[in-house]
Chain A
Amino acid sequence: EVQLVESGGGLVKPGESLRISCTASGFTFTTYTMHWVRQAPGKGLEWVSSLTSGSADIAYADSVMGRFTVTRDNAKNSVFLEMNSLRADDTAVYYCTRGAFPGYSAYAFWGQGTLVSVSS
């Protein structure tokens, strides 16, 4: 069974940094691109970042470009999102997702999410 478990969320002040993690199980982690999607309270889904299996291809939303960095540790079946210069509008539940198939694929698997709150 595919499982994605996020961790590391919490309350931080504007300008601070936070690193969230996603640990995967139930599939061959090195085969899949991994993604982060966020959802601000009461708002819609916003794609944040995608990272291919070998980390050769990385993409970011314009809203986080230059502030967020996505990485993965294939030995630990984990993907990370390092978030710097956090702003109030980064407050959201952050979901780790995986496609249904390797390559370009819709997001068939979602974690339960981790809440990041940015407030003074």
Chain B
Amino acid sequence: IQMTQSPASLSGSIGDTVTITCRASQDIATYLAWYQQRPGSIPKLLIYAASTLQSGVPSRFSGSGSGTDFTLTISGLQPEDVATYYCQKYNSGPRTFGGGTKVEIK
């Protein structure tokens, strides 16, 4: 199963709402996670089961989707959100990651 993220990069102003999409090549139900990796840091789990916020993650992050199409939304972009974001399918077989989306501040 391939996981395709878009866009590869985006730039937003502080306070903007930005959206990242992830498409699976086959139905993965809601076995979809989103991770944030800040420069120089290890990845951090943001969302699992497509839309469940991991404990401690700010509520400006939200996820939606099921089957093959998923989105990660940051509502009110903050300076600390500068990072690369990855989606991942985590059910059986290869637990494939998407290629990543680099988020920057204008």
Contact = CB atoms under 8 A, between A and B. Distances in A.
Contacts of A68: none
Contacts of A27: none
A61 B94 contact: yes
A50 B90 CA distance: 10
Interface string A11-44: 0000000000000000000000001010000001
Interface string B1-33: 000000000000000000000000000000101
B75 interface: no
On chain B, which size bracket covers the interface?
Answer: 20 to 34
Given A47-B94, A61-B94, A100-B45, A107 B86 contact: no
Contact of B88 (A47, A95, A100): A47
A107 B33 contact: yes
Given A45-B86, A107-B43, A108-B54, A35 B97 contact: no
Contacts of B98: 44
Given A106-B33, A107-B45, A113-B42, A45 B90 contact: no
Contact of A100 (B31, B48, B91, B95): B48
A59 B93 CA distance: 6
Given A61-B94, A107-B33, A107-B88, 18 more contacts: A44-B99, A45-B35, A45-B86, A45-B88, A46-B97, A47-B88, A47-B96, A59-B94, A59-B95, A62-B94, A95-B42, A95-B43, A100-B45, A104-B31, A104-B92, A108-B54, A110-B43, A113-B42
